[in-house]
Structure 1
């Protein structure tokens, strides 16, 4: 119960009022008691002074000789029932001469120092000339009484006698006890009122706090559609208003954070690079799908230790920032990746781990290799004819040769020059297509006619190798939409390859078909074929299956690459199927008119 601020507030309020009432009550009672006793003492002193002033004989005569007069004087003096006066002689052995009590006759002549009702110390002090008073407990009634002993002096200063007065204080203490009871009831009533008021006051404070706490609890569970009712304009009301404002701001902030998190997650999951995050203890804490695929990580890889040795990241020192930054290059499953890594930090700039980015550079690596091969191939293709031309030219210049040898040398030089011209022409054509500088004159081309024209151009070579040419072209074949010169070059390249790489007396079949969209031309042969591992690279520039044999047949290694790119530029396609040692099938697809 005391864990509640409401009950602690009520308890504190209760104890505070109780303490205040106790202090105030004690002060009032003490003050009342003192005042009442002082009033009694003052009245007693006035009474004794009056008796002394009105009875002048007391200072001139011996009290033993006028005891009857003193007794009459005391009797005639009107006293309250609670008061008594004793007349005591001033001798060394003080005796009670007279009194106002109903036991006067019994106590006359009694030594005042031995009489139990009188205080001997007060009597002795009075004999010494001092007026003294004290509160004495009556041995008979056990009640407190106020006692005053006043010496009566003669004209020469001697103590004639003592007037000793007592006053029963029972009425005084009754008044004090009544005051205590009244104060007790007042305190109880005040505490009851305090408790009730404290409850309502505490509730007025704690209820809004409880509402805020309840709302905060709901917000902690993720429900931010909360609002606290503002019931006042005081500090609690300001707290509720500020809490509502904070809730709205927090809701906006969290929505913005969710949006940013969603953006980051989308970027993280759909970026082309693989990304992983590893904390300073080596545990994997984040991984995107690309990285999961590259590193072959399963769903249970998160929050497990990872060895970065495969990524060529070694000797990480999280206290040395320079060791957490770097770059490496790795090969994974025939793919090449550039690995970059850098630390991520907390707010206090302490390293918390590293972010590793895996960038796929397989394409760039292959392009670089192709560039190197391209340069090597071009150099080789140009070196051979240049060397031949230089050799024969030097021979002609330095050695006497007859007319027949001269003509032979010149024919060789011309052949090699044509070979270089074809190579340069092919390279220029590829360069123009790479830079989109090749302008096609698209027109309708008769399919049957272009096939026959191609075969006519290769008639001599076909006759030399005694090939059996089979043509299967429907009469109603649709025309092709293409650049005529480029189409001739493509067909010439494909058919000439079939003729070159088919053994003598082989068979070559050229067929065509068309539909609403396309015209398909298929060239099949039963030649040497292409190995399966070379099919994926057959359209690369300068790529040859059998380099020596291809070069011997006059090829530059650019024909298929030009054919592929030219066909695509005109909206068509080219596919090659081959069974090594059995033959090759090339399918050309063009737009139909």
Structure 2
């Protein structure tokens, strides 16, 4: 009797623990289903273990047919497959949704357990469009402002070089010349920013010989000096190289 009573109490405790764990799992799943971001869990070989409702909308998974299917068989984009299989997830992947090409997803993957993966997919379509609008605005403003500034600077320089210009105008004209140069420098910075954002540029990076670069720049400066004949002296403490883009460093 004591033995069976002990077994009965042990069974009841196990049932209570199982119910408690089941409630916790259901609560976690309900919380994940409430997220607007897609959450996907896969096992070590990439089979789907679980996903939330947002992932169904973003990836088109079918709860009845896709359970335990390889995610790379359901989402066949080569860029995604390469990203999923590389197991290096320091940077997110931005890619179009397989259910709607107009949706842009940012995918983060985290490894856990024995090569299991937790994938988070965010809809960044609106953010992407806003970023594109910002880039277009910077591009248009920088290009549109350059032409009138060039005209203004040309007239100011003409008036400064004119012997007929009143002396009392010299100070104002010098100030106008300085401000137009300042604006041109700002526009050049904007155009440089646009150039960097328009492409990655990593393929142009490499080791740059700073000694040769500095000497080349100084030769250009001496030629630019022309009749003024500025004297430029170079003092280099080391001949180190720098990793970067030579044209931009120049």
Offset, 1:342: 3.1
Q: Return the match for 1:329 from 94, 108, 113.
A: 94
Cα offset for 1:247? 4.6
Q: Does 1:341 align with 2:109?
A: yes
The answer (yes or no) to whether the contact 1:272–1:290 under 8 Å persists in 2 is yes
The 8 Å contact of residues 46 and 70 in structure 2, kept in 1 or not, is answered as yes
Report the Cα distance in structure 1 between the residues aligned to 2:95 and 2:84, rounded to whole angstroms. 18
Pairwise CA distance, 1:355: 2.6
| Separation of aligned partners in 1, 2:88 and 2:149 | 51
| Gap change, CA 1:316 and 1:371, over 3 Å in 2 | closer
The one of the two structures with greater contact order (alpha-carbon pairs below 8 A, sep at least 6) is 2
Shift of 1:265: 1.1
- Does structure 2 conserve the Cα–Cα contact (< 8 Å) formed by 1:325 and 1:343? no
In structure 2, stretches of 5+ residues that fail to align are 166-175, 184-250
CA offsets 1:226-267 (integer angstroms, 9 cap, x no match) = xxxxxxxxxx326515632x3553344234323321221122
Instruction: Quote how far apart the aligned CAs of 1:339 are.
Output: 1.8
SS of the equivalent of 2:81 reads: coil
Higher radius of gyration, 1 or 2: 1
Give the distance between the partners of 1:284 and 1:301, measured in 2 at CA. 7
Q: What is the Cα-based RMSD across aligned positions, in Å?
A: 3.7
The runs of at least 4 consecutive aligned structure 1 residues that moved more than 4 Å come to none
- Structure 1 gaps of 5+ residues are 1-235, 318-322, 403-412, 421-593
Normalized per residue, the structure richer in helix is 2
Shift in Å, 1:309 = 4.5
Alignment CA distance shift 1:335-1:400 (3 Å):
farther
Report the counterpart of residue 264 of structure 1 in structure 2: 28
Greater strand proportion: 1
Cα deviations across residues 329-372 of structure 1 (Å, max 9, x unaligned)? 22331332222223343xxxx44x43322122223322332332
Please point out which of 161, 169, 176 is paired with 1:398.
161
What secondary structure does 2:70 align onto? coil
Contact map agreement 1:275 1:291 (CA 8 A) in 2: yes
Tell me: CA distance 1:377–1:314, structure 2 relative to 1, closer, same or farther (3 Å). Answer: closer
Structure 1's 298 and 258: CA in aligned 2 closer, same or farther, altered over 3 A? closer
Distance 1:315 1:372, change over 3 A: closer
Q: Is the 8 A contact 1:325 1:342 kept in 2?
A: no
TM-score when normalising by structure 2: 0.50
Instruction: Tell me how far apart the structure 1 counterparts of residues 150 and 11 of structure 2 sit (CA, whole Å).
Output: 85
Displacement of 1:375 after TM fit? 2.6
Q: State the number of aligned residues.
A: 162
Q: Which residue of 2 aligns with 1:306?
A: 71
